[in-house]
Amino acid sequence: MSNSNKRVILIIIDSLGIGYLPDAYEYGDEGSNTLKAITSSSYYNTPTLVNLGLFNIENIDYGTPTDFPMGSFCRMAEKSKGKDTIIGHWEICGIISDKPLSTYPNGFPEYLITQYSELTGRDIICNKSYSGTKVLTDYGREHQKTGALIVYTSDDSVFQVAAHEEVIPIDQLYEYCIIARKLMMGNNNVGRIIARPFVGEYPYFKRTDKRKDFSLPPPARTILDDISRSGLDVVGIGKINDIFAGRGITRSIKATNNIDAMNATMEEIKNDYAGLIFTNLIDFDMTYGHRNNVDGYAKAMSTFDKQLSTLINSLKKDDVLIITADHGCDPSTESTNHSREYTPMIIYGNNVKKGINLNTRSSFSDIGSTILDYLGIVSITHGDSFWNDVKIRCISN
């Protein structure tokens, strides 16, 4: 099989953990299990994922496994420290992080806020760990009256700046976020600076789809760099371009929600090229996990499953589909933040054996190494490829 025909479609179900990791106690996440929580909902219905082998994965003792899985599968352990979106995606693509990104659950130090105020020329309000919707209710009117920037965070590694679009134009808000990005480096290296524009009047403020993430650039080479430098395409769909600060992405496609991202992925599959289609489905995390909405998460999984069935039928002969996650975000616990969990991995395609149980892998980075292996790209990586375990032997590599 020629390299020119090889392509991987990598879909991240953002926050679909499948049970807490052994070190979850260090993060306050013992007992977390995102998938188990949402399968308890009457709205959960994922026959496509069942047929692919989701409930055949090691140590999943709920749901109904299938006798004849269409895909091969395993449970992924995170080797990096942390439970952040950035850390998880970086590890999938080959970077092991020895320490978590900086977090500020009690708000940012006063000296940083003072510097930021001086650099932007605006007062700063809030500076607390806050719900992204409640912060608008509590601080939106003051922002409208004074023009002060609403700065807030969460237990995740984020510095968020909210502003009403009629008070601060979008481009200016983005400039303020670029200033914050330059400020929050080194010892203050938060993973993402997030622009949070909103509209409306109190108490009906509403965030818009003009959110923009300004991420910390990857500290080392990723498989995206390897693939693009090899002359192949890397198409990022949804938040992928933001998550990797554009590094290694040859083309980026925006998506406002899960459905749009899946539709964009299916449209992209119709095109003929080799490389990687990399899709992030952010709604699971942002809209349902962080808001402790079990039924909403379950409904979204059911919708995704229907689209997944259509996507599978659209795959080309040498396409390989990989489905995984970057961390957990159990919507049934008291916490509204990410949870330190194992993640699922399912691999499927004409060139992939059915029903191979790859057990538990020691790092998300095994996925990245497997992708490079399939694409025929030789590179030194942290992960251990499982391509030889699942490939159908009649193909060349």
What single DSSP character describes residue 48?
H
CA–CA distance, 308 with 325 (Å, rounded to integer): 15
Q: Is residue 92 in some structural domain?
A: yes
The total of structural domains in the chain comes to 2
Compute the C-alpha angle 391/394/397, nearest 5°.
60
Range of the domain at 188: 110-215
Whether residues 258 and 143 fall in one domain: no
**What is residue 3's predicted lDDT score, i.e. its pLDDT?**
52
Q: List, as one string, the DSSP characters of 60-99.
A: --SS---SS-SSEEEEE---SSS--HHHHHHHHTT---SS
Q: Is residue 327 in some structural domain?
A: yes
Q: Answer positive or negative: Cα dihedral of 161, 172, 281, 251.
A: negative
**What is residue 155's predicted lDDT score, i.e. its pLDDT?**
79
Residue 28 belongs to domain with CATH number:
3.40.720.10
Whether residues 123 and 88 fall in one domain: no
Whether residues 208 and 312 fall in one domain: no
Domain endpoint, select from 181, 215, 249 = 215
Q: How many CB atoms lie within 10 A of CB 106?
A: 10
Whether residues 49 and 163 fall in one domain: no
Element holding 145 (H helix, E strand):
helix 134-146
Q: Is residue 104 in some structural domain?
A: no
Q: What is the dihedral of CA 295, 299, 305, 307, to 10 degrees?
A: -160
Whether residues 267 and 364 fall in one domain: yes
Whether residues 204 and 231 fall in one domain: no
Whether residues 142 and 42 fall in one domain: no
Q: Is residue 187 in some structural domain?
A: yes
Residue 204 belongs to domain with CATH number:
3.30.70.1250
What radius of gyration do the chain's Cα atoms show? 21
Residue 175 CB-density burial (10 A; 0-12 exposed, 13-18 middle, 19+ buried) = middle
User: Are the beta carbons of 203 and 193 closer than 8 angstroms?
Assistant: no
Residue 334 CB-density burial (10 A; 0-12 exposed, 13-18 middle, 19+ buried) = exposed
Q: What are the structure tokens assigned to 395, written together?
A: 């193909």
Q: Which residue carries 């925006």 as its tokens?
A: 254
CA–CA distance, 248 with 269 (Å, rounded to integer): 19
**What is residue 103's predicted lDDT score, i.e. its pLDDT?**
92
Whether residues 160 and 15 fall in one domain: no
Whether residues 17 and 83 fall in one domain: yes
Count the alpha carbons within 13 Å of 57 in the hemisphere toward its beta carbon: 31
Q: Is residue 397 in some structural domain?
A: no
Q: Is residue 395 in some structural domain?
A: no
Domain endpoint, select from 215, 234, 249 = 215
Q: Is residue 396 in some structural domain?
A: no
Whether residues 64 and 153 fall in one domain: no
Domain endpoint, select from 215, 249, 284 = 215
According to DSSP, the residues that pair with 192 across neighbouring strands are 158, 215
**What is residue 396's predicted lDDT score, i.e. its pLDDT?**
46
Q: Which residues of the chain have pLDDT under 70?
A: 1-4, 394-397
Q: Is residue 247 in some structural domain?
A: yes
Whether residues 377 and 230 fall in one domain: yes
Cα 135–chain centre separation: 23
**What is residue 1's predicted lDDT score, i.e. its pLDDT?**
38
CA–CA distance, 217 with 141 (Å, rounded to integer): 34
Q: What's the pTM?
A: 0.93
Q: Which tens digit of pLDDT belongs to each residue from 89-137?
A: 999 999 999 999 999 999 999 999 999 999 999 999 999 999 888 999 9
**What is residue 156's predicted lDDT score, i.e. its pLDDT?**
86
Q: What are the structure tokens assigned to 303, written together?
A: 């919708």
Whether residues 225 and 151 fall in one domain: no
Compute the C-alpha angle 173/177/178, nearest 5°.
115
